[in-house]
Amino acid sequence: MSIWRRLSLFVLASALCSCPCRAEDSAMENIVTEKKAEESHRQDSADLLVFILLLTLTILTIWLFKHRRFRFLHETGLAMIYGLLVGVVLRYAIHVPSDMNNITLSCNVNASPATLLVNVSGKFYEYTLKGEISGSEVNDIQDNEMLRKVTFDPEVFFNILLPPIIFHAGYSLKRRHFFRNLGSILAYAFVGTVVSCFIIGLLMYGCVMLMKQIGHLGGDFFFTDCLFFGSIVSATDPVTVLAIFNELQVDADLYALLFGESVLNDAVAVVLSSSIIAYQPEGDNTHTFEAMAMLKSFGIFLGVFSGSFALGVATGVVTFTKLRDFPLLETALFFLMSWSTFLLAEACGFTGVVAVLFCGMTQAHYTFNNLSPESQERTKQLFELLNFLAENFIFSYMGLTLFTFKNHVFNPIFIVGAFLAVFLGRAANIYPLSFLLNLGRKHKISPNFQHMMMFAGLRGAMTFALSIRDTATYARQMMFSTTLLVVFFTVWICGGGTTQMLSCQKIRGFLEQSCLMMGFLCVQQIGPDGVERRSTKQESAWFFRIWYNFDHNYLKPLLTHSGPPLTATFPACCGPLARCLTSPQAYEVCTLHAHSGLIILCGTRFSSLFYVDCFIWLVKENFIIVFIGDITLHIKDDKNSM
Amino acid sequence: MSIWRRLSLFVLASALCSCPCRAEDSAMENIVTEKKAEESHRQDSADLLVFILLLTLTILTIWLFKHRRFRFLHETGLAMIYGLLVGVVLRYAIHVPSDMNNITLSCNVNASPATLLVNVSGKFYEYTLKGEISGSEVNDIQDNEMLRKVTFDPEVFFNILLPPIIFHAGYSLKRRHFFRNLGSILAYAFVGTVVSCFIIGLLMYGCVMLMKQIGHLGGDFFFTDCLFFGSIVSATDPVTVLAIFNELQVDADLYALLFGESVLNDAVAVVLSSSIIAYQPEGDNTHTFEAMAMLKSFGIFLGVFSGSFALGVATGVVTFTKLRDFPLLETALFFLMSWSTFLLAEACGFTGVVAVLFCGMTQAHYTFNNLSPESQERTKQLFELLNFLAENFIFSYMGLTLFTFKNHVFNPIFIVGAFLAVFLGRAANIYPLSFLLNLGRKHKISPNFQHMMMFAGLRGAMTFALSIRDTATYARQMMFSTTLLVVFFTVWICGGGTTQMLSCQKIRGFLEQSCLMMGFLCVQQIGPDGVERRSTKQESAWFFRIWYNFDHNYLKPLLTHSGPPLTATFPACCGPLARCLTSPQAYEVCTLHAHSGLIILCGTRFSSLFYVDCFIWLVKENFIIVFIGDITLHIKDDKNSM
């Protein structure tokens, strides 16, 4: 039973737990209903407990794997396996007799109202609409209560579990390398996802036509359905691959390309799929091609995407610098702002998930710099925890649902076709685009990087959430079952083979780059010759050079305490205005830039074992290291534990 | 609309957003329903946004108050005021025309099933039972959609919002002073709450009898209802007072007495109220006195309380010491353990809130010591944030509900009686018990402490959650309305007058004691004469001295890394066993005890302004101060900001 239905049962329990102050038969009746409600509440708590224990088990096993440096199975893959096991047990081992407490009413109402009042022998009961169910499901509903009990409402994924994951992705985008590769990332995310969607859609349409010919199709399957399938499986989620990249300190540019692409193509896929659903030609045949409807869909795509983008950026930019003395208030406000971005976007008819993504990115770029050090740590940790819990929950639920979902449609031809289409769609995204991008890039995307990106096209939480959102028709059910298999395959096989693939492609990590990426607060590293060794702006295309300059010289100083003081960047004539807009902190940060070969280590977000490697490297390279916080203690711990 | 109903509407939206692949009229019908669902989803997002903005506004105003050191209004009082304002606006300013989408059905079903299938001209719709509603409410339901939309299901408070608050209270119980006053705290919490409950119950019964005589009673009101009222308003919540105590560094013993009592009496009140509801005499008259039913209620009280206690302690004691290298996993596991305690208790038929309280206390006492420093900080901050959000949400909802709740029964006689009864009940709790306790205490509870405790008997979140849980009958509605007024009055008047009351009672803060309480990790402070200046065990009664010794010498070393090594406390003959059970860290901690006049400061949870005062005091007293972490930086910040 969904957690929401569970909660509404709590309500039921309370509503029926009214005082026993009526005539005896009424009182007895009340007691019976009360007992039933209490039992149901207990059952619900027990169900939820199963999920929690599942997560606990996953965490303990992850710890074991991390401790033993076992890299073949990521935590998400593990969560799926545990979910599968529990699903098997629920489906085949536990048999709960149905108590037949559903009653089918036939009424002559001509609508299905949201709230229904039922007059049962003088007493009124209030019912809330849950949704339409197909005729074939009517018996199922009375059939297996147990499996229904562990089924969450699909919208929970979209409105509760996905937002923290997406926000965290935006909030933790490695910004330096992200901006250096912004052009390529945008190309992969926008052009690539659209190309992939249409390639997969066309291939699947061919596949469906074939199935129709040989009579393997049990229901309607239109071209829009195929395109929809293309859009949902175009959302890549290389969480497994990136975790291994992190551990092995793989090339920072490749990391940025993959991570940036996967984050942004989620947003593109969500909006794309909703635009495809919105394709509604007028006239008799609702599935013919019509230019107007097509244009309208395109307009919806542009409108929703840019609206969500603008909204996310706007709320992300809102700065609060005065709350630094009260980290609790600051963190709470930060959390509420991110949540209100989601709600505001949904209330305006935009896509909350997309807005939250851009909100996270903007907050990481501007607001983060204004937070007190304690709040910076707190917000990072909070969203890291939420992301961790939500992600593992989704993946274990994925495993569970393979056995507990009752309307699976596994069609061998469709499945084989889908795997082929997913492969070809990814290839049509990566290789031609890389070729085009390499024409303009100074640092070419090498062939082995391209193969790695091709290989890292895992499907994950977003694909699952989009496919489970609607499983009412035959087409959607077949898509859902196939999507599940695609996710399982890519997470286990591609995820598990990352280490092999990396060594096979001879992609080595650059420890130095990784050190700077892994969350160290690197206060600009200047070599002995006094020349900046690494500069984002010189390596980017002209457009981004302009943007970088504008951002670094004007936006950052204006919106945050970091960056050069405005007095240095504004023209001389605007001196008084610049002085007035520059915060005292900006000058302080500046003085730190003067030291040569200086690394300031702050916080210990990264894996402690990796940390020791990094530290040794830094010492070897004769860096001056300044410790802030309790890092020294951690090093001691690490050495003890080794 | 409740968040759960909101979520179920999301489901409705998705269920109806199926592909447009039927005949045209069906498609058109679908589009209409789809649009309706989408609009409803938008409306729901907007409603939730109102609550978020309310919280945001509260946070900003709290910041202003804290910044200006304005102590007359606490954040909870403020949240209530904002809630009230929004309630007024929703009630009187916004007028949404009802769309009359409720249909009353008359059916010949002899039960109210949890799930209802309605057959509307061939299509099946699934409905979920929300609860019974009284005949008078039937029209209301169709009346004002808007007010219903901002009404949360009452069980949300009990199952979502209260647990983090209660857990946080348990987790942050100041343990040293708590255990020093354990006997008194238990007396106030158990004896005091029961006395208060029965005094209030009896007085209210007198009041109700009077009302019946003069015809002011509009419905049934039994003695059990009066007792129930007594139990719910016996749960004190001096959050406002304690916040001011914290800021003003008021006497640590008084703080411990008040905080400990308020935390534990919540648990007593919850179990007490559920035992009163469970009072079900057999036979014709369900409201006469019957010894068996009474005994059964008493048995339920004992059983549920001790069961919840045992369960909370058992899960709280579970230690995990191996995950120290991965703070994220550790924190996630800690969070899941606390949540599963709640669910386990609910699944077993105990009270989740009580179990969570004792789980928090046990975890603070044992598990906390095993966490890595980073996780200690993370878990504290996480629960602090959850507590902050939940508390402010409940208080602002309280304000809102004064205007949006539609079945208020304000009866002047009952209200006056209730205020009188609450006052007398508190007096009958504090003064006689203090007199009895002072007979046995070395450190007497002085009269001005007693007056302060009397004054600090605020009612808050728990009282509200218990009273809103069931508002089906006339009696419950009157209780709910009266309880709201009691909460408003106590939070605003008693909370706002705390500073005056303190100076009037001449209660001064002992900076020294506060320093040790405020979260400083004080590693035993030994004076120059080598005698321990402050010892918990010597100042307690013999029973607690025994317990303290056992806990300190055996339980703590066994379950945590702190305390003396077992090799020192076990008899010599058990040497090998003790060596085997003692962790290496225990020896390390021990060496720290050897320094004289040593204070180790760790972390900066406390208010930064207070911190400077404390620091100055410590320097004056010639303490050797060892800083761990980034405290030095904070001091600099503080001085700059002053």
pLDDT of residue A531: 34
Lowest mean pLDDT among A296-310, A486-500, B64-78, B189-203: B64-78
Q: How confident is the model at residue A546 (pLDDT cuts 50, 70, 90)?
A: confident
Burial of B68 per CB tally in 10 Å (0-12, 13-18, 19+): exposed
3-state SS of B338-375 is HHHHHHHHHHHCCCHHHHHHHHHHHHHHHHHHHCCHHH
Q: From the CB of residue A595, how many other CB atoms can be counted at a distance below 10 Å?
A: 15
**CA proximity to A144, closest of A105, A99, A104:** A99
| CB contact residues (below 8 A), chain B span 561-590, against chain A | none
Q: Is the CB of B106 inside 8 Å of chain A's CB atoms?
A: yes
Q: B75 burial class (0-12, 13-18, 19+ CB within 10 angstroms)?
A: buried
CB neighbour list of residue A147: distance below 8 Å, 6 or more residues apart = A90, A91, A404, A406
* Cβ B369 vs Cβ B562: under 8 Å: yes
B 349-368 near A (Cβ less than 8 A) = 349, 352
pLDDT of residue B188: 92
Cβ neighbours for B599, distance < 8 A, ≥ 6 positions apart? B520, B522, B523, B525, B618, B623, B624, B625, B626
CA distance to partner chain A, nearest, from residue B418 (Å):
20
Q: What mean pLDDT do residues A431-436 have?
A: 93
pLDDT, tens digit (0-9, with 9 covering 90-100), for A161-213: 889 999 998 888 766 778 888 888 999 999 999 999 999 999 999 999 999 99
Encoded tokens for A15: 């509503």
Nearest to A120 among B60, B109, B323 (CB): B109
DSSP structural state of residue A363: I
Instruction: Answer for the pair B434, B187: CB distance below 8 angstroms, yes or no.
Output: no
The phi, psi pair for A123, rounded to 5°, reads: -100, 145
Instruction: Please list every residue in chain B whose beta carbon sits closer than 8 Å to the beta carbon of residue A388.
Output: 328, 332
Is A332 within 8 Å of chain B by CB? yes
| Torsion angle (degrees, nearest 10) of CA A93, A99, A100, A102 | -100
In a mutational test of the B interface, the residue from A284, A323, A343 whose CB has the highest number of chain B CBs within 10 Å is: A343
Mark yes or no for CB contact A128/B45 under 8 Å: no
pLDDT in tens, A100-152: 444 555 555 555 555 666 666 666 666 666 656 655 555 555 446 667 667 77
- Residues from chain B that touch A40, judged by Cβ atoms under 8 A, are 114
What tens digit of pLDDT does each residue of A69-83 get? Answer: 777 778 888 889 999
Q: Which two tokens stand for residue B225?
A: 């209802």
Q: Which residues of chain A does B280 touch, with a Cβ-Cβ cutoff of 8 Å?
A: 20, 31
Q: How far apart are CA A188 and CA A194, in angstroms?
A: 9
Neighbours of B72 (CB within 10 A): 14
Among the listed residues B414, B418, B420, B397, the one whose alpha carbon sits nearest the alpha carbon of residue B468 = B397
Which range scores top for mean pLDDT: A442-446, A494-498, B184-188, B557-561? B184-188
C-beta atoms of B280 and A20 within 8 A: yes
Query: Which one-letter amino acid corresponds to residue B395?
Result: F
Cβ neighbours of residue B270 closer than 8 Å, sequence gap 6 or more: B235, B351, B353, B354, B462, B466
Tell me what pLDDT residue A534 has.
42
Query: Are the C-beta atoms of residues B196 and B385 closer than 8 Å to each other?
Result: no
Report helix angle A373-404 to B327-348, nearest 10.
Answer: 60
Task: Please list every residue in chain B whose beta carbon sits closer than 8 Å to the beta carbon of residue A322.
Answer: 63, 67
The full DSSP string for A550-607 is HIIIIIHHHHSS-SS-HHHHS-GGGHHHHHHHS-HHHHHHHHHTTSSSEEEEE---S-
CA angle, corner A271, sides to A270 and A276, nearest 5?
100
Interchain contact, A9 vs B114, CB within 8 Å: yes
**Contact, B235 vs B270, CB < 8 A?**
yes
CB atoms within 10 A of CB B530: 7
Looking only at Cα atoms, what is the longest distance across chain A? 94
- With vertex at residue B408, the alpha carbon angle to CA B403 and CA B414, rounded to the nearest 5 degrees, is 125
Give the distance from residue B161's alpha carbon to the nearest chain A alpha carbon, in angstroms: 13
Coil vs helix vs strand at A140:
helix
So what's the pLDDT on residue A616? 54
d(CA B343, CA A46): 7
Per CB-CB distance under 8 Å, the chain A contacts of B111 are: 101, 103, 120
- Partners of B138 on chain A (C-beta within 8 Å) are 117, 124
Residues of chain B scoring pLDDT < 70: 1-34, 95-146, 148-149, 174-175, 281-288, 319-321, 507-544, 561-568, 570-572, 575, 579-642
| A532 DSSP assignment | B
> Stretch A487-494: mean pLDDT, rounded?
90
Six token digits for residue A320: 């609060």
Identity of the residue in A11, A134, A155 whose CB atom sits nearest the CB atom of B14? A155
- Contact present, A170 and A364 (Cβ < 8 Å): yes
| Nearest by Cα to A262 from A339, A342, A334, A169 | A169
Closest CA to B617 of B516, B481, B533, B483: B516
Residue to mutate among B35, B55, B115, with most A CBs inside 10 A, is B115
The residue of B63, B127, B160, B392 whose CB has the most chain A CBs within 10 angstroms, and thus the best one to mutate to test that interface, is B127
N residues, chain A = 642
Give the list of residues 6+ apart from residue B297 with CB closer than 8 angstroms, or none.
Answer: B275, B276, B278, B279
For residue A407, the cross-strand partners are none
- Inspect the interface and report whether the beta carbons of B103 and A126 lie closer than 8 Å: no
Angle at A151 between CA A149 and CA A153, to 5 degrees: 120
Report the C-alpha gap between A422 and A467 in whole angstroms: 15
B153 touches chain A (CB under 8 A): yes
Question: Cβ A114–B135 below 8 Å, yes or no?
Answer: no
C-alpha distances (whole Å) from A345 to each of A300, A336, A359, B368 are 15, 14, 11, 40
B592 touches chain A (CB under 8 A): no
DSSP type of residue B96: P
- Residues B26-60 pLDDT 10s: 555 556 666 777 777 788 888 888 888 888 888 88
Interface contact A535, partner B, CB < 8 A: no
The interface predicted TM-score (ipTM) is: 0.75
Chain B residue whose CA is closest to A225:
B19
Tokens of A122: 């003088």
How near does any CA of chain A get to the CA of B440, in Å?
A: 41
**Closest residue of B to A223, CA-based?**
B21
Average pLDDT over residues A463-476: 89
B373, amino acid identity: P
Set of chain A residues whose Cβ sits within 8 Å of the Cβ of B273: none
Phi, psi of B132 (to 5 degrees): -85, 145
How far A346 CA lies from chain B's nearest CA (Å)? 6
Q: Least CA distance to B57: which residue of chain A? A: A333
Asked if B126 and A132 come within 8 Å (Cβ–Cβ), the reply is yes
Report the gap between the CA of B575 and the closest CA in chain A (Å): 25
Assess A347–B contact: CB distance below 8 Å, yes or no: yes
Going by C-beta distance under 8 Å and a sequence separation of 6 or more, which residues neighbour residue B169?
Answer: B259, B262, B263, B266, B357, B360, B387
Tell me the count of A-B CB pairs closer than 8 A. 438
Interface check for B132 against chain A (CB to CB < 8 A): the answer is yes
CA distance linking residue A525 with residue A133, whole number of Å: 62
User: Do A105 and B119 touch, CB atoms closer than 8 A?
Assistant: yes
CA dist B165 and B153 (Å) reads: 18
- What is the 3-class SS of B126-192, one letter each residue? EEEEEEEECHHHHHHHHHCHHHHHCCCCCHHHHHHHHHHHHHHHHHCCCHHHHHHCHHHHHHHHHHH
CB B399, CB B81: distance < 8 Å: yes
Mutate to test the interface with A, among B151, B325, B356 (most CBs of A within 10 A): B325
Higher pLDDT, A30 or A259: A259
CA B551/CA B189 separation, integer angstroms: 23
Query: Using a CB-CB distance cutoff of 8 angstroms, which residues of chain A are in contact with residue B120?
Result: 107, 109-112
Q: Using the 8-state DSSP alphabet, how is residue B324 labeled?
A: G
Which comes out higher in pLDDT, residue A466 or A571?
A: A466
Q: Is there a contact between B130 and A67 if contact means CB atoms under 8 Å apart?
A: no
Q: Say yes or no: A155 contacts chain B, CB-CB below 8 A.
A: yes
What local confidence, expressed as pLDDT, does residue A111 receive? Answer: 56
The predicted-structure confidence for A248-273, as pLDDT tens digits, reads as follows: 777 788 888 888 898 898 999 999 99
**Across the interface, do B608 and A325 touch by the CB < 8 Å criterion?**
yes
Distance between CA B455 and CA B498 in Å, rounded?
8
Residues of chain B neighbouring A59 (CB-CB closer than 8 A): 329, 332-333, 336
Question: Which residues, 6+ apart, have CB-to-CB distance to B68 below 8 Å?
Answer: none
Whether the pLDDT of residue A474 is over 80: the answer is yes
Mean pLDDT for all residues in chain A:
74
DSSP secondary structure letter of residue A526 = B
For a pLDDT cut of 70, what percent of chain A falls above it? 65
- A2 contacts chain B (CB < 8 A): yes
Token look-up 């208020």 returns B408
